[in-house]
Amino acid sequence: MPKLNIALFYGGKSVEHEVSICSAVNVFDSLDKKKYNVFTIFIARNGKWYLRKSVKASKGQIEVMPLLNARYNIVSAPSYKKKIALKIDIAFPVIHGPNGEDGTIQGLFELMNIPYVGCSVAASALSMEKHISKIIAQKCGIPVLPHVMVNGFFDFDLGKIKKTVKKWGYPVFVKPVRLGSSVGVTKVNRESGLKKAILRALKFDTDVIIEKGVKDAREIVCGVLGGGKEKTKSSLCGEVRLFNVEFYDYKTKYLDSKSHELATPADLPKKMARVLREKSVEFFNAIGGTGFARIDYMLDKNASKYYFCEINTIPGFTDESLFPALWEKTGLKFSEALDKAVKIALSNASHKKNLKTNPFK
């Protein structure tokens, strides 16, 4: 089989820009260079695209742009003197959060008519929406925590929210609906902190979710791989163990390695581990997921109750990240997991190519 031209897209107009670069380094290193020519397309914070020699090599980068349905699908920007034209066989978005994990860039790849690794437009978009993904979780019989929504386009009724939250009891978590890496998330321990937390989350998103908190929550994660023709499989469950921090916030995730550790497999009753793995597969299939995802749960202290927290359709792939570690422990090297995701993307694309686009022919 000839080598495939695979293009990594990373960086992005997202608060998770830096994390994406670290993920892209790992994906670049793990993709088998005997099978793939790997191109690295950095997306700057202003949204411009640059072809780089390697993930972090900004020197000599060339501004590029996409072409729709063309022989060459990545070309140098008109302003750029030296002309280049590339034919990409498959795109691999490694962008967390808005404009990368939410179906937007996936939509562009659809229009460019190139296969892409990971979830479809729809599966990506609904996974990004914390409240919509909870509705699907419920349909799959996965418990979710009580929550209320605030829409930033309208004035919110703080009194009504306070009344609802009082019934649940504190703490509650206030979060932007379509973000990640705990950006804009606040743990609210008392009523007086509610308004400030809502206003803070509204700085990052037009919609905010206020969710009942699980006291002394255990955070359990499960990786999935598959979709399309490939039967979805789950990884072992892992646990993020926190030390002396209020919750798994941005600082804990990326800046303070001493405040947490990853335990794989998570120390769970066998039945709970089995249920979480089965439900992860069921959920991924329910959203029509393709490629990979990490599904996160909250457990109570005794591991007797579990709740859906969120799904990440482009989970972190950094050295510190859970997804590669979960699969390694399950017996699949990260490079093999990536191969599988590429294979799934190609088989989906060839299946879609045969679909009719004209009702009369």
Ligand X SMILES: Nc1ncnc2c1ncn2[C@@H]1O[C@H](COP(=O)(O)OP(=O)(O)O)[C@@H](O)[C@H]1O
Least Cα distance to 27 among 6, 4, 5 occurs for: 6
**Alpha-carbon dihedral 76, 79, 80, 85, rounded to 10 degrees:** 20
Among 108, 272, 309, 325, binds ligand X (CB under 6 A): 309
Count of alpha carbons within 13 angstroms of residue 165, beta-carbon side: 27
Of 10-18, 63-71, 173-181, 223-231, the segment contacting ligand X by CB under 6 A is 173-181
Q: Is the peptide bond before 2 cis (omega within 30 degrees of 0)?
A: no
Among 104, 120, 127, 181, binds ligand X (CB under 6 A): 181
Q: How far is the CB of 319 from ligand X (least distance, A)?
A: 18
Among 174, 310, 323, 348, binds ligand X (CB under 6 A): 310
CA distance 31 to 341: 11
CA distance 176 to 252: 18
Site string for ligand X, 265-304 (x = CB under 6 A): -------------------------------x-x------
Among 214, 266, 293, 325, binds ligand X (CB under 6 A): 214
Burial 31-46 (b: 16+ CB within 10 A, else e): beeeebebbbbbbeee
- Say whether residue 102 binds ligand X (CB under 6 A): no
Number of residues engaging ligand X in binding (CB under 6 A): 19
Q: 98 vs 228, which CB is nearer to ligand X?
A: 98
Of 8-16, 26-34, 133-141, 176-184, the segment contacting ligand X by CB under 6 A is 176-184
Beta pairing, strands 4-11 & 90-94: parallel
Q: How far is the CB of 298 from ligand X (least distance, A)?
A: 5
Among 12, 180, 226, 289, binds ligand X (CB under 6 A): 180
Contacts to ligand X from residues 193-212, by CB under 6 A: 211
- Say whether residue 219 binds ligand X (CB under 6 A): yes
Which amino acid would we find at residue 125? A
Least Cα distance to 91 among 10, 2, 15 occurs for: 10
Length of the chain: 361
Q: 125 vs 214, which CB is nearer to ligand X?
A: 214
- Say whether residue 26 binds ligand X (CB under 6 A): no
Q: 5 vs 313, which CB is nearer to ligand X?
A: 313
Of 62-70, 86-94, 171-179, 347-355, the segment contacting ligand X by CB under 6 A is 171-179
Neighbours of 209 (CB within 10 A): 23
Region of 244 on the Ramachandran plot (φ > 0 left; ψ -120 to 50 alpha; else beta): left
Among 168, 170, 247, 254, binds ligand X (CB under 6 A): 247
Q: Which element (helix H / strand E) includes 239?
A: strand 230-242
Footprint of ligand X (CB under 6 A): 145, 173, 175, 179-182, 185, 211, 213-214, 217, 219, 247-248, 296, 298, 309-310
